[in-house]
Structure formats: structure tokens, C-alpha cells
Amino acid sequence: MSSQISDRRSVEGAGAPATTLLPVIALASGTTALVTSEFLPAGVLPTMASDIGVSDGVAGLAIAVTAIAGAVTAPTVALVLPRTSRRTVLVALLAAGAVANLAVSLAPDFAVLLLGRLLLGIALAGFWSFAFGAGTTVLPGRPRVVSTALAFGVSLATALGVPLAALVGNGVGWRAAFAGATAICVLAAVWLACVLPPVPAHPSAGLPMLRRAVGNRRLMAGIGCVGLVAFGNFASYPYIRLAIERVGSQHTTWLLVAWGLGGMAGNVLAGAFAARLRLLAAAAPVLLGAGLLVTAVAGSSSLLAIGIVLWGFAFNMVPVATQLWVSRVEPDSVESAVSLQVTAFQVAITAGAVVGGALLDARGAQFPLLLGAVAALAGGIGFGLLRVPA
């Protein structure tokens, strides 16, 4: 008993509580670097596919294979490293992301490119699984701030990362975009190593915590809803550029920026409404379904812009809402609960990219959007039926 009390105190006193937001901002910069890397193919898909010699649908597997690795990594990384300092792990994962991007930028063929993307999936899922717990350890009592900051990192990646990748890809080449992502991951790793205090693992981290989380039926039902919503988005998002160009290509880059800017607004609004978690978790997927539907049927640039902005706004509410939802439903096993949320996202990204790519090649850019709208709406209904503990 005394050893358990000692372990608990060592976790609660991991370094001193943060007196500034710098550690959390540094964690958010890591999510920005890795999520930018994950979705770079969406910004350079046509040129990358042409250069490597595969179809656009097959090139979408560059996102799917990253998600496959992430789906396996998220629930198991804590089992492999149950006692390793979370600061050490987080910095190492950012370094792995840099190596992965470098491999892609130099890839001579599609097989090597996929290997690089596989390593990126390990880095991304591991980072996401540990970042929230590390953030709430160094900034105790403020989970909403930590979740909003990490999700804002995702929004920043989609607002700037993918559009910049499109600009760099069009101007210099898609390989240069991945080389730039390599540098960003290195910088994020160095910054995190400098400002994040030591974060020991929780005493029950690993298999005991995972078993407790998996045994929570309400949590697992919510994880299923997370998977539906994420599938709805990622059946469509790898092909967002093609969906835009179906209506007109003259404003492609700016509409990608608009998607991300809408996402930033959604991210901030989700944090503001986090107290009404059940409503937030249900409303975000419903709005996502509406945004996907409008984008699918748009026949003009103005209607397309409305659909794109609503899509970005709604989807970027989802990471904040669902991360807070799982941590509320399973407060004693947050690290494992978040890892299951990450797994749901990664499985959905894999399935979405594969199914969306098949629909894209067979029926055109509208059909992945329509499928995504149905899945997102189903996930929203599911969240509406699940109660959240006070």
C-alpha cells in the first residue's frame, strides 16, 4: 500500500505544475507537425500519384497505411512502454515522425513511400495517446484547456499544413512538401524536450488500465460512435481537393484554407461549449453530415464554399468533444480511454480511405461525400442517445 501511495504521489508531483501554458502549447505544436504530415497527401495527391505512377484512389492508401499503423499502435504503445517517462516517449515519437517524412520525401517508389507512412502512423498514434495525459499532468484541473489546445493543433495543421503543401507541391514539388514536414517535426521535438517537465507514467498504466477502459460499456459505445463520425469524414477528406475541382479548380488552395479556418472556429467553439458535452458530441457530427452533403451537391462556387467551411467547422469540433467525452466517461483510465479514441479514428481513417478511394475510382468525387454524410449523421444520433456522467 505504501508503495502505491508513493507511486501516486510521484505522478501527481511530476515536476511542478506548469505555471504557464508553454508545455501544452509545445504538445499542440507536436500534434500540428504530425497531423500536417498525416494529411499532406490530401494536398498533393494528383502530383504525387502521377510521379509515383499510381491512380489517385491508390495514392489515397498513403493515408490509409498511416492509419493502419496508428490503429495498432494506439492501444498497445502503453503496454510496450508502461513505465517509460512520457516526455521521453513523446520526444522520440516526434523524431520518428521526422524520419518517416524524410523517407517519403526520398522514396523511389510507392513501396518505400508506404513504409515511411507506416512509421508516421506509429509516431502519430503514440503521440496522441500520451499527449492529453501529459498535458493534464503538467496543467492539472484544466482538461478543457488541454483538449482545446491539442485539437487547435490539428486545426492549425489542416488550416495551414495542407494548403501550404498544395502551394509547395504545385510550385516546387510534392517531395519538397514532405522535406518541409521533416524540419517541422524536428523543431517540434526540440521545443518539447526543452519546455515539457518530466512526466512519469501512471502507476496503473498498461494492461490493467486498458482492461478497465474496455470493460466500460458506455465508453465502448461512444468509441463506436467516434468511429462512425471519423469514417464519415475520412471517406471524403483524402479526396477533398478532387471534390473541389469537380466544381472548379481556380480557388482550390483558398477553399482548403477556408476548410481549416472554419475548423479553427469550430475548435474554439467546441471548447466554449464543453460544459454541454452531450449536446456538443451529438451536434458536431450532425453538422458534419450537413457540410458533406452540401459539398457533394454543390453546383456553384458559392455553395461549395459554404459546404467546405461547414465541413471544416463541424469536423474540428469532433476531436475536442470526443476527447472530453471519453475522459469524462472513464476518468480513472484517461490514457487508455484516449488511446481507444485514437484507435477508433485510425481504423475509421483506414476504412474511409479504402472505401472512399474505391467509390472515387468507380463513381466519382461525389459518392465518398454522400457516404460520409450518412455515417456522420449515424454517429451523431448515437452520441445523442448516450448519457454523460455529471
Residue with cell 504538445: 27
- Reported as a single tens digit per residue, the pLDDT across 255-310 is 888 888 888 888 888 888 878 889 999 999 999 999 999 999 998 889 999 999 99
CA neighbor of 30 nearest in space, from 91, 89, 71: 91
* Architecture per CATH, 2-385: Up-down Bundle (1.20)
The more confidently predicted of residues 292 and 331 is 292
pLDDT of residue 299: 84
Q: Which residues contact 343 (CB under 8 A, 6 or more apart)?
A: 70, 71, 74, 75, 125, 223
CA neighbor of 279 nearest in space, from 183, 380, 379, 350: 380
| Highest mean pLDDT of the ranges 82-86, 284-288, 313-317 | 284-288
Q: Where would I find the H helices in the chain? A: 2-12, 22-52, 56-59, 61-80, 86-105, 110-138, 143-156, 162-171, 174-195, 207-214, 217-234, 240-247, 252-272, 277-297, 301-315, 318-329, 334-363, 366-385
In the predicted model, what is the mean pLDDT of the chain?
85
Q: By the 8 A CB rule, do 242 and 57 touch?
A: no
**How does DSSP assign 120-178, residue by residue?**
HHHHHHHHHHHHHHHHHHHSTT-HHHHHHHHHHHHHHIIIIIHHHHHHHHHHT-HHHHH
End-to-end CA distance of the chain: 30
- Reported as a single tens digit per residue, the pLDDT across 245-261 is 888 767 787 888 888 88
Q: Enter the C-alpha cell of residue 369.
A: 461525400
Q: Which residues contact 175 (CB under 8 A, 6 or more apart)?
A: 105, 106
Q: Enter the C-alpha cell of residue 56.
A: 489517385
State pTM to two decimals. Answer: 0.77
Q: Enter the C-alpha cell of residue 141.
A: 484541473
Q: By the 8 A CB rule, do 340 and 71 touch?
A: no
Q: Enter the C-alpha cell of residue 387.
A: 448519457
Domain layout of the chain by residue ranges: 2-385
Mean pLDDT, range 354-358, rounded to an integer: 86
Residue type, 313: F
Separation CA 280–CA 268 (nearest Å) = 12
- The SS3 call for residue 204 is coil
- Reported as a single tens digit per residue, the pLDDT across 47-76 is 888 888 887 777 777 877 888 888 888 888
Q: Which residues contact 307 (CB under 8 A, 6 or more apart)?
A: 291, 292, 293, 294, 295, 296, 298
Q: By the 8 A CB rule, do 218 and 385 touch?
A: no
The more confidently predicted of residues 191 and 5 is 191
Residue with cell 507536436: 30
Separation CA 390–CA 388 (nearest Å) = 6
pLDDT of residue 11: 38
Residue with cell 478532387: 242
- Reported as a single tens digit per residue, the pLDDT across 99-128 is 999 999 999 988 899 999 999 999 998 998
CA neighbor of 232 nearest in space, from 322, 58, 352, 341: 352
Helix axes 252-272, 318-329, angle to 10 degrees: 30
